[in-house]
Amino acid sequence: MLMRTDPFRELDRLTQQLLNTTGTWSRPSTMPMDAYREGEEYVIALDLPGVAKDAIDIDVERNMLTVKAERRPVPRADDVQMELSERPLGVFSRQLVLADTLDTEHIEADYDAGVLTLRIPIAERAKPRKVSIGGGSAQREIRG
């Protein structure tokens, strides 16, 4: 149901983890995801812990699904001295090509406990269906 659009995306993610870089709007970090079919819908779950709901942007253009999110720094008092900062900040993005068998007009999104869940129904035209056999005449008319 999905096609990866960038074969080097995983290499970029590993490099960002090793170098501890933050994502920017021009070069966002990736977000971990699960994708699976559940009954008559396709489910995509993206981990976005610490991201405010209003900092998530979901766009669909034709069959391209784009999810962008920004984890912003928490405002702190001037007298706070940071001892350790491992939680990544910045921009996170994931772009997926959805199959034609999915109904992109009826995507539902839910955000709970730092997980963004997208539910995409399987299109009616992609569901299995029976084909009836019509009654035909035993002989065909021959025209000459």
pLDDT over threshold 60, residue 132: yes
The reported pTM is 0.69
Residue 62's closest CA among 108, 93, 9, 99? 99
Structure confidence at residue 67 as a pLDDT band (50, 70, 90): very high
**pLDDT on residue 62:** 87
Question: Distance between terminal CA atoms of the chain?
Answer: 50
pLDDT over threshold 60, residue 22: no
pLDDT over threshold 60, residue 20: no
**pLDDT on residue 18:** 59
Range 28-40 average pLDDT: 87
* 52 vs 141: which has the higher pLDDT: 52
pLDDT over threshold 90, residue 2: no
pLDDT over threshold 80, residue 29: no
In DSSP terms, which residues pair with 45 in a beta bridge?
A: 34, 117
Mean pLDDT over each residue of the chain, to the nearest integer:
82
Question: Are 48 and 115 a contacting pair, CB within 8 Å?
Answer: yes
Question: Are 93 and 31 a contacting pair, CB within 8 Å?
Answer: yes
Tell me the per-residue pLDDT of 95-118, one tens digit each, with 9 for 90 and over.
Answer: 999 998 999 999 999 999 999 999
